Amino acid sequence: RSNGSHTSKRRMTGKSQGARRRAQPHMLLVGDPGTGKSQFLRFASAISPRSVLTTGVGTTSAGLTCAAVRDSSGKDFTLEAGALVLADRGVCCIDEFGCIRDEDRTTIHEAMEQQTISVAKAGIVCKLNTRATIFAVCNPIGGLYQPSES
């Protein structure tokens, strides 16, 4: 452009054109029991126009991503969205994050890094958007914060 808007925009932002920046940050809050972490999650969920509030107790990767469900005819499958897909362009609040099994927790990594999840279930292959901020809370290992171990 002759008016130099590209150059001035680059100087102001410090980024070259075409650089990709994730719009959804993620946060893990670790604190002692009884310090109001769950209430903080409920408040974050309440003020967001699109939010999903779930707990890590008993959560599976299907509950976080999607599940293949047989329809009423018994022949075909459909996908039911999980918490991360339902929270697309919003906030996914996960209480008791430390209770999620390790293999189920790894499911969240693609959603956090790529903002999508790849699905291959019951003959259905697709990519689902998970452009959500993930806000999780948990207790420290051993139940209480140990300053000597920090």
Span 64-107, pLDDT tens digits: 999 989 888 878 888 999 999 999 999 999 999 988 888 888 88
Query: How many other CB atoms are there within 10 angstroms of residue 76's CB atom?
Result: 12
Report H helices in 14-139: 37-47, 61-64, 83-86, 102-114
Q: Which of 100, 87, 106 is nearest to 60 (CA)?
A: 100
**Higher-confidence position of 96 and 15:** 96
Token duo for residue 119: 């699905």
Q: Is the pLDDT of residue 11 over 70?
A: no
pLDDT of residue 141: 83
- pLDDT tens-digit series, residues 22-58: 678 899 999 999 999 999 999 999 999 999 999 988 8
Residue carrying the six token digits 């806000």: 135
Quote the pLDDT of residue 16.
55
**pLDDT band per the 50, 70, 90 thresholds, residue 7:** very low
Tokens 């918490």 -> residue: 83
- Among 6-10, 83-87, 100-104, 109-113, where is mean pLDDT lowest? 6-10
Give the whole-angstrom CA distance, residue 53 versus residue 35.
Answer: 18
Closest CA to 88 of 129, 57, 120: 129
**Residue 4 pLDDT exceeds 80:** no
Helices (H), 14-121: 37-47, 61-64, 83-86, 102-114
